[in-house]
Amino acid sequence: MKINILHAGYCTAPEHIAIQGGRWRTIRFPAMFALLRHPKFGAMLFDTGYSYRFFDETKKFPKRFYRWMTPVTLHEEDLVVNQLATFDLRPQDISHVFISHIHADHIASLPDLGWSRFVYMPHAFSGLRNLPPSEDMKNAFLRGLIPSDFDSRSHEVDMSKSVLLSENYAPFKTGYNLLGDESIIGVELPGHANGQMGLFVRDENGKLFFFVADAAWLKQSIVENRPPHKVANFLFPDPEAYRETLGNLHTYHLTHPETHVIPSHCEETIREYEKP
């Protein structure tokens, strides 16, 4: 598998909210996505970053607050479809999109990917599907980003078919063999959003990547087991689970320093891996 780490746009937010003891300054949070090129399944994506639809969907109040809280910068060349073109790929070449969770900065390009299967944990979307629009804001949900044929193209992870992971993945004990060939293992990373899914993916050179989405905003949080400021807890459906997941990632990082652990919004990490 060939793995490319990319990003589509970024937002800015205060560092001291993203990590306890962080500086009182605003920093960039790139909206990372990954291109995974599999010898049999072809090109696939992990998440999609931002698209211009984010701006359309946050024009009116109260969703405009979303934009104010996390101001977004996005250029034409950042769009997923334009970045795919630099790899000689068209949207119809993307066979699967693995969705970590349904927040706007992860799904904003789904409507551009009209041929892909969507793979995600069922509880990532089940609570949102029948949500009254008045509840959207509380759940950071921009329903206009969900393609109209989303359900018919969804291949939800079958939670009854978990696999026991070897000691190599400890403390993560169970996962999901998403393509059936063990090339991509999904694991649940509870706390930040319902049904948040991380991926273990090994590249063609044998390097193991662990995409952990928003289980931590900064790599430093994982390295030092340092959570966000307490005020961020109001954003999480389960702050206690968030803390436990972060502790597991910290333990995993200490015991598997060779694995490339990639949080979706850590600028330092994304820059390091984006280098060609």
Q: Does 103 interact with Zn ion (rule: CB under 5 A)?
A: yes
DSSP E strands, 214-273:
260-263
Q: Cβ closer to Zn ion: 136 or 214?
A: 214
53 binds Zn ion (CB under 5 A): no
AA letter at 269: T
The count of residues interacting with Zn ion (CB under 5 A) is 2
CB atoms under 10 Å from CB of 1, counted, come to 17
Interface with Zn ion in residues 192-211 (CB under 5 A): none
The backbone region for 180, taken as left when phi is positive above 0, alpha when psi lies in -120 to 50, beta otherwise, is left
> Residue 66 or 169: which CB sits closer to Zn ion?
66
The C-alpha atoms of residue 268 and residue 254 are separated, in whole angstroms, by 19
Closest separation in Å from C-beta 143 to Zn ion: 16
CB-based contact 51:107 (threshold 8 Å): no
Q: Smallest gap, in angstroms, from Cβ of residue 198 to Zn ion?
A: 12
Tokens standing for 37?
């090129």
Q: Which stretch binds Zn ion (CB under 5 A): 70-78, 85-93, 151-159, 214-222?
A: 214-222
In angstroms, give the least distance from the CB of 258 to Zn ion: 27
Report the 3 state secondary structure along 202-217.
Answer: ECCCCCEEEEEECCCC
Q: Which of 15, 57, 78, 214 binds Zn ion (CB under 5 A)?
A: 214
For Zn ion, the closer of residues 196 and 248 by Cβ is 196
Binding mask 149-188 for Zn ion (x = CB under 5 A): ----------------------------------------
Strand partners, 155: none
Comparing CB distances to Zn ion, the nearer of 45 and 179 is: 45
Q: For residues 5 and 31, which CB has a smaller minimum distance to Zn ion in the complex?
A: 31
Q: How far is CA 172 from CA 150, 184, 254, 255, in A?
A: 30, 15, 13, 12
**Site residues (CB under 5 A) for Zn ion?**
103, 214
